[in-house]
Amino acid sequence: MDNQKKIALIAGRDNWHTRDFPEEGIPVVTMSDGPHGLRVEKEAGIGFPQSVPAVAWPVLSALGCSFDTELIHEIGTALAEECIAEGVDVLLAPGINHKRNPLCGRNFEYFSEDPVVSGELGSAYVNGLQENGIGASLKHYAANSREEGRLVTDSIVEERTLHEIYLRAFDTVIHKAKPWTMMMAYNMLNGIYCCENEFLMNHARKEGFDGVFVSDWGGVSDPAASLIHGLNLIMPGDHHADAKVQEALEKGILSQDKLDESVRCISDLAKKVSHHSPKPYDIQKHLDLALKAAEESIVLLKNDGVLPVKKEQSFLLVGNLLKMSNHGGNGSSKVEAISVDHVTDIFDKRKINYAFYSGKSIEKTIRLAKEKDIVIIGAGYYENEESEGYDRKNMRLSSHQNRLIRELCNNHDHVIVVIQTGSPVEMPWKEDAEGILYMNLTGCRGGSALTNILFGMTCPSARLAETFPQKLEDVPSYAHFSDNPHQMEYREGIFTGYRYYDTFDIPVNYGFGHGLSYTHFSYSDLKTGDYSVSFTLKNDGDYDARNTVCLYIGFKDSSITRAAKELKAFQSVYLKKGEEKRIVFNLDESMFQYYDIQKHDWMIEEGMYQLMIGGAVNEIFLQTEMYHEGIQNPYSSIQKEFYEFSEGKLHIEKASFEKMLGRQIPQFKNNIDADSSLKDLELHTFRFLAKVLSKKKELLPGVRLSTIQETPLRQILMADQKITWETIDGMVELLNGMPVKGIKKVLKSLKSSRL
Ligand code: BGC
């Protein structure tokens, strides 16, 4: 294969395909989004054009609450069948980023705030797909935890935190499922774009990844630099990366070996994906599985006796979300659902005695409520309130929803609140509601699943895969999440999610792992065996049910800074009423390790560890201790003297964070280059240009103005195939005060553009 073809191969043909060279035996690879259903676009277009109707599965934040690896594996298999039906070879999923802050617009696309949960469920998902000949794309690698400025922002993460929290789930999926591709995140990690981040890509290779590193769509800032540092495939189609790569090859900056390696990876992938001939799948079977998945995802947060309700009772259903469910969030993961069960439709079908009211007038709602035995209110976010491309500004329901719930609770004794969001919300009325269900965004069968749980046909079994803090200010990354569009300092380090709330005794609304049931489970007879721990779990209540049991490990006397407990393993177990089972957790060394930044490796500290069996992190049923051999003088850069805990908050000053990092945080330099966004340009004299361009928002239907303003110049490449990297270079020169040179370059590039 000659170099021209090789260079052509390393950039896609268009939005969803790689280039193919049949004469060289390299077929095309077709890709589509994920993760909770297929988004096969009907026609090409910018933004998120209409897609082919598909099964809308519960979003990953919902599936995370199932803690059920078998279920996720089954969904992976079902998605593979859907890919085969649609001619898709690689599904751009799953997203396993760590949830650092509830405001991240894309949290609904991720499993958990715990890397063990994300890693195990992510592995099951990838195995389900790949065992059926469909490739996965593990994304977004790595430390991609905010949408604001996501295309250029620098995630600044200390080394131990990076390994223990932000890379851990990726490592697990690489070990357990060997994904065929990994998608490099848009952002920078410690000053280097992920697509050019040799540390990141070498790390994955060392862990055993042997597939294709693909850029997130439009995430390449410099094609040659990306390839030199390990990226294999530039997506979407970037016809004009060829010239840049050719130049780098001629200058010897890009070696022939590096180019050949990318070609080998892409051609291996193209041969590996099965290129099945399209075969229809059993839609009903998939809808049944989507129902089971939704049932396993809905978390019963509170029950003062109102649940399960009875068919003889009368109901008032309040809130448009019960009539028109929000089945998923917005952005590239949005599925055009083939059907959606809305709660009111299911109540109609089952001939339940109910009335519906939107809740618009609080007085009217209270009047109607008084005529019914039970009030069920659906509250939450509407589709566009959680999205790729922008973050939430707060974690509150609308003030109307909060007032309505409070007033209803003040005026009726039996109020059940159903929350439809993909991330935690504040609950100022938590003490007043008799029942609270976290429905999440449970896909096309959510309404049936909710009804089954409400009426006790299914026993709730889900547990929160993410803490519900009392208020946003309690979140450990609160002060350093949206304070700077260009940099994100991960100052809280390893104290993220429950690792923070549990260690520092911060009161929360509902802790990680919280989830009630209609039955009762007892835990007894804890024994440690040969590197294992076992106990008896008995369902001694009145319902057949599933339960997730968790193994947490702590090390009270450790000489390094640690979280009080960390989840190390979990099992989802189904027991009929009266049934009991011996549960065994096999231990392995990784469960005792911490990441040592002096040795740049995982180490075990010698000492006595606490092994705890629980459900929620703050609900430990059984506990024992185990001595583990290891090193005696461990070292961690996260040291108590670097942080201060006062007034209920963790404070880490910039200087202390820099000590943990072992370097100074670089000043953001507002140069004008291809990575400058319209917002950045506004800081310069070319304010007028930024204004003109940002007014063109109708160019991208459905995309917010703020997202357009945060978009770097280089992304214009994605808007029109006539625009080349040379055009961008010319624009940069123009903006840097070289109008003649710049304009000449722009015109020349447009003229010579091959399309
Ligand atoms: C998203 C990816 C997605 C890709 C293709 C990007 O905007 O970050 O998750 O797979 O688009 O739609």
CA of residue 17 to ligand 1 center, whole Å: 14
Measured distance CA(5)–CA(24) in Å, rounded:
10
Confidence of residue 633 (pLDDT cuts 50, 70, 90): confident
CA of residue 509 to ligand 1 center, whole Å: 33
Measured distance CA(106)–CA(117) in Å, rounded:
17
- On the question of pLDDT at 237 being above 70, the answer is yes
Asked whether the beta carbons of 138 and 179 are under 8 A apart, the reply is yes
Asked whether the beta carbons of 469 and 509 are under 8 A apart, the reply is yes
Q: What is the pLDDT of residues 537-553, one digit of tens each?
A: 999 999 999 999 999 99
Task: Identify the pLDDT of residue 695.
Answer: 64
What percent of the chain has pLDDT above 70? 97
CA of residue 213 to ligand 1 center, whole Å: 14
Which atom of ligand 1 is nearest the CA belonging to 139?
A: 9
Beta strand 192-193 with 299-303 is: unpaired
Q: What is the pLDDT of residues 272-281, one digit of tens each?
A: 997 888 999 9
DSSP-derived letter for residue 717 is G
Cβ–ligand 1 contact at 92 (below 6 Å): yes
Closest CA to 17 of 29, 25, 7: 29
Cβ–ligand 1 contact at 330 (below 6 Å): no
Total Cβ atoms within 10 A of residue 202: 12
Cβ–ligand 1 contact at 81 (below 6 Å): no
Task: Identify the pLDDT of residue 693.
Answer: 63
- On the question of pLDDT at 698 being above 80, the answer is no
The answer to whether residue 216 is catalytic is: yes
Total Cβ atoms within 10 A of residue 280: 9
Nearest residue by C-alpha to atom 5 in ligand 1: 217
What percent of the chain has pLDDT above 90? 84
SS3 of residue 508 by DSSP: strand
Q: What is the pLDDT of residues 104-147, one digit of tens each?
A: 999 999 999 999 999 999 999 999 999 999 999 999 999 999 99
**Given ligand 1 and candidates 216, 333, 387, 718, which is best to mutate, with the most ligand atoms within 8 Å of its CB?**
216
Confidence of residue 755 (pLDDT cuts 50, 70, 90): very low
Asked whether the beta carbons of 369 and 316 are under 8 A apart, the reply is yes
Confidence of residue 687 (pLDDT cuts 50, 70, 90): low
Q: Which two tokens stand for residue 599?
A: 């040795």
- On the question of pLDDT at 409 being above 80, the answer is yes
Cβ–ligand 1 contact at 466 (below 6 Å): no
CA of residue 31 to ligand 1 center, whole Å: 11
Closest CA to 321 of 300, 301, 341, 343: 343
pTM summary value: 0.96
Looking at residues 643-647, what average pLDDT do you find? Answer: 89
Average pLDDT over the chain, rounded to whole?
94
Asked whether the beta carbons of 89 and 30 are under 8 A apart, the reply is yes
What DSSP element (H or E) covers 441? none
Total Cβ atoms within 10 A of residue 126: 29
Nearest residue by C-alpha to atom 9 in ligand 1: 332
**Given ligand 1 and candidates 60, 106, 238, 388, which is best to mutate, with the most ligand atoms within 8 Å of its CB?**
388
Cβ–ligand 1 contact at 139 (below 6 Å): yes
Which atom of ligand 1 is nearest the CA belonging to 186?
A: 8
3-state secondary structure 526-543: EEEECCEEEEEEEECCCC
Cβ neighbourhood burial of 671 (10 Å; 0-12, 13-18, 19+): exposed
Task: Identify the pLDDT of residue 638.
Answer: 87
Amino acid, res. 438: Y
Cβ–ligand 1 contact at 187 (below 6 Å): no
Q: What is the pLDDT of residues 436-446, one digit of tens each?
A: 999 999 999 99
Asked whether the beta carbons of 202 and 232 are under 8 A apart, the reply is no
Q: What is the pLDDT of residues 389-408, one digit of tens each?
A: 999 999 999 999 999 999 99
Q: Which two tokens stand for residue 523?
A: 């835990």
3-state secondary structure 257-303: HHHHHHHHHHHHHHHHCCCCCCCCCCHHHHHHHHHHHHHHHCEEEEE
Measured distance CA(326)–CA(386) in Å, rounded:
10
CA of residue 125 to ligand 1 center, whole Å: 18
Which atom of ligand 1 is nearest the CA belonging to 33?
A: 10
DSSP-derived letter for residue 113 is S
| Range of lowest pLDDT (83-97, 339-353, 521-535, 668-682) | 668-682
Q: What is the pLDDT of residues 706-736, one digit of tens each?
A: 787 888 988 888 777 788 888 999 999 998 9
Which atom of ligand 1 is nearest the CA belonging to 140?
A: 9
Comparison of pLDDT for 384 and 89, the residue scoring more? 89
CA of residue 89 to ligand 1 center, whole Å: 16
Cβ neighbourhood burial of 456 (10 Å; 0-12, 13-18, 19+): middle
Select which of 89, 154, 216, 238 is catalytic: 216
CA of residue 754 to ligand 1 center, whole Å: 27
- On the question of pLDDT at 220 being above 80, the answer is yes
Closest CA to 263 of 229, 309, 212: 212
Amino acid, res. 725: W
- On the question of pLDDT at 306 being above 50, the answer is yes
Asked whether the beta carbons of 582 and 534 are under 8 A apart, the reply is yes
- On the question of pLDDT at 697 being above 60, the answer is no
Looking at residues 95-106, what average pLDDT do you find? Answer: 98
Using alpha carbons, list the distances in angstroms from residue 244 to 15, 214, 248, 438, 646. Answer: 20, 18, 6, 50, 53
Total Cβ atoms within 10 A of residue 686: 18
